[in-house]
Amino acid sequence: MSVFESFGLRKVINASGKMTALGASAVSDEVAEALKQASQDYVDIDEMMEFAGKVIAEYTGSEDGCPTCGAAAGIAISVASVITGKNLTLIERIPDSEGLRNEIIIQKGQQIHFGASIGQMIRIGGGSAVEVGSANKVEADHIRQAITEKTAALLYVKSHHAVQKGMQPIETMMEIAKANNIPFIIDAAAEEDFKKYIKMGADIVIYSGGKALEGPTSGLICGKKDLMEACRMQYKGIGRPMKIGKEGVAGLIAALRQYPYKEDNPDDQIARMTKLCESLKTVNGLTCSIKQDEAGRAIYRAQIEVDTDKAGLTAEQLLHRLEIGNPAIYLRHHYVNIGILAVDPRPLLKGQEEVIANTIKSILNEEQPK
């Protein structure tokens, strides 16, 4: 029995992905041990934060780093850092940034909701979001012409939630930022390559510690040394209510040290999802196929299309039936409105794809005429 079941909570099968709402990742024994040991001892937090910054720098190729309680906090802290620098008086003013250089330029199709809104995270950090272009079309001139003497940074959101079509690429935004001597921030929360954007020349990059890294609930910011020092100083201001504890930092460090040895296995993902699709291919009203991640990551999911007339219920109804069961089965549902569900193999424990297939078949057998 899991600790959650011992609390009286339902068992969860997570086929949705490394989602915050389901606890993001299940950590390795080594990371769990780091969390345990840190929770039972003491440390000078300032020293630990500075040391963590060096570890982040080592594994991201950046000049320095700052641990956070999550990527959302990383956005707020990063925004605050480009507005205040290391000026303590200004740090203590945020989110009040009246009269300061506080505008953050973002492409309209990247002003998304990820469980909260990007715009709100910017405001918490004292920023004023300046949306450019339209939701499905942004020209480079839209970005250039939005720059004023109040522009504090350009922000690019790399996410499957964001509009993928019609946006200006990272390279274009970075070029514009550098030409105008403005910091360039990338929110790369769920990205798997922790060195890519620093190599490209970004000033600040934000990652989740609990997603691709498979660490505890945490986040990390990496980038230019002066900006990272400014990020860490935000813990004297808006960072205080979102501080990360010694356990989280220790687990984050342990996860970073493990990450270079972690092997992606797309072939295994494809094999497991193919098996799932084979199991569902005889089910009336379902069509199952293998699809790569929308943002181009090496993630291969089973995509299940639900034909309501043949299946006897909608994709949304099927999703609901799966989620209210015990175990509760959570599928990826970004396109449920058009009848599509998906199974992400990464968080699944061995054999859980069979449980998912059998449960779906059982639900549909109840709905379809005998």
133-157 pLDDT, tens digit each: 998 999 999 999 999 999 999 999 9
As a whole number of angstroms, the distance between CA 147 and CA 153 comes to 9
3-state secondary structure of 197: helix
Instruction: Name 340's bridge partners.
Output: 305
Residue-wise pLDDT for 1-59, tens only, equals: 788 888 888 889 999 887 777 777 788 899 999 999 999 999 999 999 999 999 999 99
Quick one: pLDDT at residue 295? 66
Q: Which of 217, 274, 281, 215 is nearest to 244 (CA)?
A: 217
Domains of the chain by residue range: 3-19+264-367, 42-261
- Residues with Cβ within 8 Å of 195's Cβ and at least 6 positions away in sequence, in order, are 60, 61
- Residues with Cβ within 8 Å of 251's Cβ and at least 6 positions away in sequence, in order, are 27, 31, 32, 34, 35, 38, 209, 215, 216, 218
C-alpha distances (whole Å) from 23 to each of 4, 65, 214 are 12, 24, 11
Q: Residue 369: which pLDDT band, with cuts at 50, 70 and 90?
A: low
3-state secondary structure of 238: coil
Instruction: Name the CATH topology of 3-19+264-367.
Output: Aspartate Aminotransferase, domain 1 (3.90.1150)
352-367 vs 266-280: helix axis angle to the nearest 10? 20
Using CB atoms within 10 A of its CB, is residue 89 exposed (0-12), middle (13-18) or buried (19+)?
exposed
Quick one: pLDDT at residue 70? 96
pTM of the entire predicted model:
0.85
Quote the strand ranges of the chain, DSSP E.
Answer: 12-15, 64-68, 103-107, 128-132, 151-157, 184-187, 204-208, 219-223, 286-292, 300-306, 328-331, 340-343
Q: Are 49 and 249 in contact (CB under 8 A)?
A: yes
As a whole number of angstroms, the distance between CA 245 and CA 38 comes to 9
327 upstream amide cis, omega within 30 of 0: yes
Quick one: pLDDT at residue 24? 76
As a whole number of angstroms, the distance between CA 117 and CA 127 comes to 13
Tell which wins on pLDDT, 282 or 70: 70
246-258 vs 29-39: helix axis angle to the nearest 10? 150
Instruction: Name 185's bridge partners.
Output: 155, 204
As a whole number of angstroms, the distance between CA 14 and CA 136 comes to 32
* Residue 153, phi then psi, degrees to nearest 5: -170, 160
Tell which wins on pLDDT, 366 or 27: 27
As a whole number of angstroms, the distance between CA 49 and CA 162 comes to 32
Q: What is the mean pLDDT of residues 287-308?
A: 86
Domain 42-261 matching CATH 3.40.640.10: the answer reads yes
Residue % of the chain over a pLDDT of 70 = 98
Q: Residue 347: which pLDDT band, with cuts at 50, 70 and 90?
A: confident
Q: Are 219 and 255 in contact (CB under 8 A)?
A: no
Q: What is the mean pLDDT of residues 314-328?
A: 93
